[in-house]
Amino acid sequence: MKASKIFQGDMVIWVIFFFLCVISLVEVFSAASTLAYKDGSFWSPLIKQAAFLAGGTLVVIFFHNIPCRFFKLIPIIFLPLSVILLLITLLFGNEANDASRWIGFGFFQFQPSEIAKVTVIASVALVLAQQQRQDGADDKAFKYTLIIVGVICALIFTENLSTAALLFGVVFLMMFIGRVKLILLGKLILGIIGGLGLIILIAAISPKDSAIMKSRIFHRFQTWESRIDKQGDDIEKDAKTYRITDKTAQRDHANIAIATSGFIGKMPGNSVQRDFLSQAYSDFIFAIIIEELGLWGAAMVVFLYIVLLFRAGRIASRCERNFPAFLAMGLALLLVSQAILNMMVATGLFPITGQPLPLISRGGTATLINCTYIGMILSVSRYSRKTLDHSDPFVKVNK
C-alpha cells in the first residue's frame, strides 16, 4: 500500500507531527538519564518513548480516517463519562504531589482530565455550530457552553488548577471565534475576576489549619501560593549572588540550562542539567532543548507549534460547515496553548504548573490523547479538501 493512501489529509500537519516526534525521541533519550539509571538500562527511555510515539502514530492514522461528522457523537458518549471519571478521581484517585489526578488499574493509570479536555472542545464546537445565526451566535450558545465547561472545570480545578485554567481559556477563545457577543464575554471576565477575588479573600482570612483550608476547594491553595511566591523570588534574584536552593531547585537548574546554552547549544546528548532536573524529560524538557540545541533549536520548536496553529486556521477557513471548523481550531488552540504554557514555565516566565510539552515530553496517556487531537484535525482537513472538490454530498447545509 502506498504511503499516500495511509497518510492522508493536510501534509503540513503530518510533517509538523513527525518533526515533533523526532525531537521528542532525541530529547527524551537525552533528558531521561535519571530514568535510565533507575531502570538500569541505557536504552529503556528511548524504547519506551518510541513505543508510545509508534502507538500514537497508529492513533493518528485511525482517527484521521474517521469522517469528522462522527465526532459529533463525542459529547453524547464522553461528556457524562468524563463527569463520572472525574468524580471517581476526585474521591478515590491516586495521589501525587498532594493532588488526585490519576485513576490506576494495576500497571496502567491515566488522567481523566485528558479525556475531559477533548470532550469539552468537541462539545463546545457542536454548541457553537448549532447556535450560529446571521448576526452571530445565539445567547443560548454562551449559556450551554458555560454549563459544560463550568461543570468539567469545577471537577478539575481543585486538583489541577493549570489544566482547568488552560481549558477555560481555550473555550473562551472558541467563544470569541464563534461570534459570541462581546458584552457576554466581558461580563464573564468580570465574574471570573470577582470569583477569584472572593476565593483569595477567604483563603487570606482563614487560618492555615482551619477546616476551610483543608477542604477540597482550598487544600492546594498553599501550593499555588508557594509557586507564585517562588516566581516572584526568581524575578528579584541578582545574577551575581544567584544560589541554588532546595525550594527552587527545578527552576534554578532550568535557568542554568538556558543561560549556558548559547546560540547553537551543547548538541544533543551533552546536557548537564538533565542530571539535576527531576522533570527534565517532562515539564522542563524545553529547558533541555534550549541547552542542547540553543536558541535556534528553541525557535524551531516554537515555529512548529505556530505553523500548526495557523495551518489549523487555514483548514478551518476552508470548511463549509461550522462544526469541523470550530473543532479544528479548538484542538489546535488547546495544543498550542499548552505548549506556550510549558515553554513559559521552563523559561521562568510563569509559575510551575506541571503541564508537559505536547508531543515532545515523555510519553503516556497524554501523548496518545495529543495524537488523537492531531488525527481529528487531519480528519477535518480531509473533509475540507473534499468540500473544495465538491465531492462530499454533505456540504449543502451550513451546520
Instruction: Please give the pLDDT value at position 391.
Output: 44
Instruction: Please give the pLDDT value at position 398.
Output: 40
Residue with cell 477557513: 317
Pick out the chain residues at pLDDT < 50.
239-240, 390-399
Cα-Cα-Cα-Cα torsion 365, 367, 369, 373, nearest 10 degrees, comes to: 180
For the chain, the first-to-last Cα distance in angstroms comes to 35
Q: Cβ neighbours of residue 99 under 8 Å, at least 6 residues apart?
A: 159, 160, 220
- pLDDT tens-digit profile of 254-313? 888 898 888 888 888 888 888 887 778 888 899 999 999 999 999 999 999 999 999 999
Q: Cβ neighbours of residue 55 under 8 Å, at least 6 residues apart?
A: 368
Evaluate whether 330 touches 170 at the Cβ level (below 8 Å). Answer: yes
Strand pairing category for 99-105 and 132-133: unpaired
Instruction: Please give the pLDDT value at position 330.
Output: 96
Going by C-alpha positions, the residue among 376, 356, 298, 354 that lies closest to residue 49 is 356
- Joined grid coordinates for residue 91: 474521591
DSSP-assigned letter for residue 396:
S
DSSP-assigned letter for residue 241:
G
Instruction: Please give the pLDDT value at position 263.
Output: 82
Cα dist from 338 to 50, 170, 319, whole Å: 22, 10, 25
Q: Cβ neighbours of residue 321 under 8 Å, at least 6 residues apart?
A: 129, 387, 394, 395, 397, 398, 399
Instruction: Please give the pLDDT value at position 315.
Output: 94
Task: Beginning with the edge strand found earlier in the chain, give each strand of the sheet holding 99-105 in spatial order.
Answer: 94-96, 99-105, 108-110
- Joined grid coordinates for residue 149: 465547561
Evaluate whether 317 touches 246 at the Cβ level (below 8 Å). Answer: no
- Joined grid coordinates for residue 366: 497524554
